A and B are shown apart, each in its own frame.
Chain A
Amino acid sequence: MKSLRWRMTAWFALSVLLVTVVFASITYLHLRHELRYERWERKHPEHADWRLHGSYSESEVDDIAGELWRLSLIYALPVAVSALCIGYLLAHRSLASVADLSRQLAEINARNLRQRVQLPCADREFEAIEANINGLLARMETSFAQLTEYSANVAHELRTPLTLMRLKVEDASSEIRPEVAEALQEELARLSEYVDQCLLLASADQGRLVMRPEPIALRRFIEEILDDYQLWAGQTGRTVTLLAVDDFAVVADCRYVKQVLHNLLTNAVKHGAGPIRITLAKDPRGACCRIENAIGPAAAAGQGHGMGLRIVRALVPGLGCSIETSAAGGQFTAAVRWERSTVSGERTEVA
């Protein structure tokens, strides 16, 4: 990407050099002209009334002009360097307000939308930009508050009838057929889960999730939750294995890391086939948690609404990681990749 600072520096330096070259050229040409046509007059040292008249020869003119040309070339480099330095300093000073504005804007996120940018020492031209940006932030703050309120209202409107249905099913469960009561409870639980997932997705998409990063020893973290998935997969004769090639810790919010792993493993159990392999390994880019399994018939038939993976995709930017998925040769792979900056040393003893 082009840098405005360097472009301004180059413009300044080129302008200075252009002016200098024009000035030097005019001086050179004028001097040559003058030397060629100028006649000099001197008094004789012994006879005061004697006058000597003469002019420069062509070789003398060339000699003087050549000296001027040589001096110009010698001074050209320091002049160019000085022009670049002065140009850079001027550009830096001119753009200081832009850098300040950029820094202040970078500090504003979903949690401090009340903050406004301030450029007290900026030139008059920046006043309008400052006012426009602050106006934009005010409108964003209002929209964000409305969106948050809307999400809360949606949560309320969806969960209140679910509460009522659940209480009714609990009330009536001793009076209706047990299998009907069980089925109703399961469907209600599924519906509640779906509502929770939709609201989580909305919060993640809107950047409203508050992250509390902490170091997580990933191998131990996965081992703690693995039993449940092994049990679940075991119902259909499948296995879930963890291969920790490297032991490392990542810095992220453990609630949402758990949610990401839960969604990926749930997908692997529900929509996959065959053994599920989890591999933890470091690589030159950072570290990776890879979940692999064969594609199941349900997934191959395009069943499933993809909500789990959508939530994962919405959560990973806030966790400082990325997700890559691939389906090839009947094999599905989901790889959660942490950049090197978020991966800390080996065997970090943390919860």
Chain B
Amino acid sequence: MRILIADDDAKVAEHVRRGLSEAGYAVDVAQDGAEALWLAENHKYDAMVLDVMMPVQDGLTAIRQMRRKGILTPAIFLTARHELQDRVRGLDAGADDYLAKPFSMVELLARLRALLRRQRAEPVDRLRVADLELDLLARAAERGGQRIALTNREFALLELLMMAAPKPVSKTAIVEHVWDQHFDSGTNVVNVYVNYLRAKIDKPGLPPLIHTVRGIGYALKEPDA
């Protein structure tokens, strides 16, 4: 899988490149929209990660020109502009997804995987880790064939952990995606919800799947993974 990154901030681009490389992707980096356009015209990429605000040519102009030239590679926008109209503008220009800065590498990887799955028309309605299964359409969870009743918030939390599995998800990322309002991440609310989820998923006698990764956050993985 080959990914094109375009970001004028060399340090951010380097971190994203390293994160994607570690996840097994081949990565090319462009420093502005014009270079990204040139690379996209001359190489075949499976996906693109483009910053919106770049010198010479911004991400919006670059993606518009790519789409006009018939380059339909799926693209995720990285942007510091969080307002609804900015997101709409980005998606209307031809992007497939939108990730607001500051973002977590785990989330970028999860979105990239989802984008690539959609490209390959793979079903994305079920997530599975060990014997835990999450049906995204029916909004139902099962472990070892046993149905687990979850509240909306527990479902969203489990979905996030399963999308990122086996990588850990930070408390900040959990707050950002499970709660639509930014809680003070110093509060215990995330821990309480993780404990609620633990009580339902990791019942006595079953190998625990939800792990606390100190200094990082929480991970959902098989005990020996």
Chain A residues close to B by CB (< 8 Å): 152-153, 155-156, 158-160, 162-168, 170-171, 173-174, 176-182, 185-186, 188-190, 192-193, 196, 199, 203, 210, 225, 227-228, 231-232, 235, 258-259, 262, 266, 270
Query: Is B184's CB under 8 angstroms from A270's CB?
Result: yes
Partner of B16, one of A155, A159, A167, A196: A167
A-B contact pairs, 17 of them (CB 8 A): A152-B81, A160-B12, A163-B78, A163-B103, A164-B12, A171-B15, A185-B172, A186-B185, A199-B82, A203-B83, A231-B188, A231-B192, A232-B183, A232-B188, A232-B189, A235-B187, A258-B180
Query: Is A196's CB under 8 angstroms from B183's CB?
Result: no
Whether A167 contacts B80 in the complex (CB less than 8 A), given A159-B102, A179-B215, A190-B185, comes out as no
Size of the chain B interface, CB-CB below 8 angstroms = 43
CB contacts (< 8 Å) of A262 on chain B: these are 181
Partner of A173, one of B82, B192, B215: B215
Query: Is B189's CB under 8 angstroms from A160's CB?
Result: no
- A312 to B216: give the CA distance in the assembly, Å: 33
- A196 to B102: give the CA distance in the assembly, Å: 10
Query: Is A160's CB under 8 angstroms from B106's CB?
Result: no
The total of interchain contacts (Cβ-Cβ below 8 angstroms) comes to 123
CB contacts (< 8 Å) of B19 on chain A: these are 167, 171
CB contacts (< 8 Å) of A159 on chain B: these are 80, 100-102
Interface residue B115 (Cβ < 8 Å from any Cβ of A)? no
Partner of B184, one of A166, A178, A266: A266
- Most chain B Cβ neighbours within 10 Å, of A163, A173, A235: A163
CB contacts (< 8 Å) of B91 on chain A: these are none
Query: Is A189's CB under 8 angstroms from B175's CB?
Result: yes
Interface residue B214 (Cβ < 8 Å from any Cβ of A)? yes
7 nearest A-B residue pairs (beta carbon):
A178-B215, A181-B215, A178-B214, A159-B80, A163-B102, A159-B101, A162-B102
Query: Is B185's CB under 8 angstroms from A189's CB?
Result: yes
> B99-113 CB contact bits vs A (8 Å, 1 = yes)?
011111110000000
For residue A160, which residue of chain B has the nearest CB? B9
- A177 to B215: give the CA distance in the assembly, Å: 7
Chain B residues close to A by CB (< 8 Å): 9, 11-12, 15-16, 18-19, 53, 78, 80-85, 100-106, 153, 170-172, 175, 179-189, 192, 214-217
- A100 to B53: give the CA distance in the assembly, Å: 42
For residue B85, which residue of chain A has the nearest CB? A210
Query: Is A155's CB under 8 angstroms from B81's CB?
Result: yes
Query: Is A167's CB under 8 angstroms from B12's CB?
Result: yes
Instruction: Tell me the smallest distance from the CB of B187 to a CB of chain A, in Å.
Output: 5
Instruction: Tell me the smallest distance from the CB of A3 to a CB of chain B, in Å.
Output: 41
Query: Is A192's CB under 8 angstroms from B184's CB?
Result: no
CB contacts (< 8 Å) of A270 on chain B: these are 184
Query: Is B216's CB under 8 angstroms from A174's CB?
Result: yes
- A164 to B105: give the CA distance in the assembly, Å: 10
CB contacts (< 8 Å) of B189 on chain A: these are 228, 231-232
CB contacts (< 8 Å) of A210 on chain B: these are 83-85
CB contacts (< 8 Å) of B180 on chain A: these are 258
- A152 to B153: give the CA distance in the assembly, Å: 32
If A228-B189, A231-B189 are given as contacts, then 18 extra A-B residue pairs at C-beta distance below 8 Å, sorted by A number, are: A152-B53, A152-B80, A155-B80, A155-B82, A158-B80, A167-B104, A168-B15, A170-B106, A171-B19, A171-B105, A173-B215, A174-B215, A185-B172, A186-B185, A188-B172, A210-B84, A210-B85, A232-B188
Query: Is B187's CB under 8 angstroms from A182's CB?
Result: no
CB contacts (< 8 Å) of A166 on chain B: these are 102-104, 172
Partner of A170, one of B184, B185, B216: B216
CB contacts (< 8 Å) of A170 on chain B: these are 104-106, 170, 216
